[in-house]
Structure 1
Amino acid sequence: MNANHERHAVEVQDVTKSFNGRKVVDRLSFVVAPEEIFGLIGPNGAGKTTMIRMMMDIIRPDAGQVSILGKKLGEGTKDVIGYLPEERGMYRKMRVIDSMAYLASLKGMDSKETGERADELLQRVGMAAHRAKKVEELSRGMAQLVEFLTTIMHRPRLLILDEPFANLDPVNVELMKEIIFDLKKQGQAIILSTHRMNDVEELCDRVLMISGGQRVLYGGLAEIKSRFRSDSVILEYGGELGKINGISGTHQHGRYLELILDGKTSPRDILNQLAGQPITVSRFEIATPSLQEIFLRVVKNGQ
């Protein structure tokens, strides 16, 4: 294994996949590092699920290559991956503990280890009392939490989560996020595919957005936000605001005011003007769009 591969939990090189003559993934390339939470985002039909299935070796690319931890697909890569699909599917008639143990055994864990590990994880999320219940007796959210725990039972080095927070109440969302952060600290690479942009902003180190099967955004969150930063500043103040030169308009957003610059005026010019006014400035910052705003802008403009 070369040093370059050792740095990557996932390496996708010029991957293309077509169905019925239509390219669903088109010459896509990206890498995921160990100890990284990586956001895979895009509109419905963008090719995200197809890309995940290729990483899982469920389907093969028509061209290009996918490597997992430096190995080509099929070289024992499935056992190092934990996958939580959007479509859930546990054995509903089995007891929680038995279902978790059985699915973990398919990843190579022995029976003694599976029981101990299942009890440890159920204890962590406060579900130890439910270990002997049938899966069908659980609420939808509890069943989903059990499926997530089953996904991490065998301590996968790569974790792929597809809409993991759907159907969970806020308490369990935070609990799952804590576990995800802990897994990252333990060295696992985590791919998060979701439409919840606020969760991507909170959790992810880097993001890949695909649209029409192609890469349209790729990089660190701070870098992406800086790239889409608008020519406006956010102002929160007390007192009577006088005339400000060098702006083309304003937008009131609750307690703060957005000043849209005219393209010739810098934020420092605005701040200097404010210093000469009889107001108290409690907040002054360059406006940075949310990932949700960037997502909508990219999809709308086809950037």
Structure 2
Amino acid sequence: MDIATSDTAVDTELAIEARGLVKRFDDTLAVDGVDLLVPRGSITGILGPNGAGKTTTLRMMLGIIDPDEGMRRVLGHDDPKDIARLIGYLPEERGLYPAMKATDAIGFMGALRGLPLPEGRERGRKLLEDHGLGHAADKQIRQLSKGMAQIVQLLGTLVHDPQLVVLDEPFSGLDAINQGKLEVLIRGLADKGVTVIFSTHVIAHAERLCEGIAIIAGGKVPFAGRVDEARDRIPAQVRLETSAQDGPWMAALPESRRKVGKFWYFPLPDTGIEPLLRALIDGNAGIQSLSIERAGLHDAFVAIAGEAAAADLVTSPEGEEA
């Protein structure tokens, strides 16, 4: 399955096209036949537990390592290294020279992508100011908090105005405030037409930010598509509270119903909510409350990839290390 919304999408509409990617490390099959289409200008999340193959997949797509099998095309080019200047990449392993000033670090990272160093420094200072870190511009990296240093490295990933930004576990290690800033930054990039791909094991970030996701488990992609398509894999749930404890209206509830406390829970019937409402009213159920709750992305992940794959996922940013 593909994240692209149309099977007729041509290369010029795609930021990334990957088909049948396979990668082995000695006797370990790390990635096993990954297919992925990412439309330009979209925000796409690569969602899976640690060790699922997310980083290896990203590195193959960027040409950092070559696949043993399969093909990948990035921004219309068969060799991603040919257009490295158009890509911004934040690896999972963070690393900046501790003695460098923040503006110098950003300028240096831009120079690695072909941006003249003085221009990179100037852009870096403006980026820091735009993101509320102007006071850190002339401080050494060693003088910054871990979260601030990570934001500096992220800005260095963006300083050369890439068309494609790939972030590997970008929220890891950030506190709640900096996680929020990063979410705003990612949305801003997409608003400018930049394609953003980020890997994460934190479901809340993917649910809030992404138009499309690829679920990776055991080196495979059992689902790639829109977030709402993943959630629709599980029927919406009805939560019902009635004043009557029993009566003919009970026949309108599915056999799969269950009662927890004072509430009944059951899947939304295929016929919709209106016939159910009529039966409840006609049967004098005494409706106290009724709500339809759509399945969350975590429930969808469990349904698609299984409980074992979901065991290492974090459902909310609060589960992240501060």
Could you say which residue in structure 2 is the equivalent of 1:22?
28
Q: Percent identical across equivalent pairs?
A: 32
Contact 2:19-2:72 at 8 Å conserved across structures? yes
Contact 2:243-2:288 at 8 Å conserved across structures? no
Amino acid at match of 1:42: G
Equivalent pairs counted in the alignment come to 295
1:233 correspondence with 2:238? yes
Describe the shift of the 1:135–1:233 C-alpha distance in structure 2 as closer, same or farther (beyond 3 A): same
Tell me whether 38-47 or 287-296 shows the greater mean CA deviation: 287-296
Could you say which residue in structure 2 is the equivalent of 1:43?
49
Displacement of 1:75 after TM fit?
5.0
Displacement of 1:126 after TM fit?
1.1
1:300 correspondence with 2:302? no
Gaps in structure 2 of 5+ consecutive residues: 1-8, 311-322
SS in 2 for 1:71: coil
Describe the shift of the 1:137–1:7 C-alpha distance in structure 2 as closer, same or farther (beyond 3 A): same
Contact 1:247-1:259 at 8 Å conserved across structures? no
Deviations, residues 96-151 of structure 1 (Å, cap 9, x unaligned): 11111111111111133212211111011211111111101111111111111111
Displacement of 1:261 after TM fit?
5.1
Displacement of 1:266 after TM fit?
5.7
1:107 correspondence with 2:113? yes
Could you say which residue in structure 1 is the equivalent of 2:230?
224
Q: How many Å separate the matches in 1 of 2:203 and 2:71?
A: 29
Deviations, residues 252-286 of structure 1 (Å, cap 9, x unaligned): 48xx935225989864443223334474555432x
Output the TM-score relative to the length of structure 1. Answer: 0.88
Q: 2:123 aligns with which of 105, 117, 121?
A: 117
SS in 1 for 2:165: strand
Output the TM-score relative to the length of structure 2. Answer: 0.83
Could you say which residue in structure 2 is the equivalent of 1:250?
258
1:129 correspondence with 2:135? yes
Q: 2:168 aligns with which of 150, 162, 173?
A: 162
SS in 2 for 1:275: helix
Contact 2:42-2:194 at 8 Å conserved across structures? yes
Contact 2:23-2:31 at 8 Å conserved across structures? yes
Describe the shift of the 1:22–1:88 C-alpha distance in structure 2 as closer, same or farther (beyond 3 A): same
Q: How many Å separate the matches in 1 of 2:46 and 2:227?
A: 12
Describe the shift of the 1:268–1:56 C-alpha distance in structure 2 as closer, same or farther (beyond 3 A): same
Contact 2:30-2:219 at 8 Å conserved across structures? yes
Q: How many Å separate the matches in 2 of 1:120 and 1:14?
A: 42
Tell me whether 71-80 or 31-40 shows the greater mean CA deviation: 71-80
Q: 1:80-99, aligned counterparts within 5 Å?
A: 80-99=86-105
Contact 1:57-1:78 at 8 Å conserved across structures? no
The alignment's C-alpha RMSD in Å is 2.5
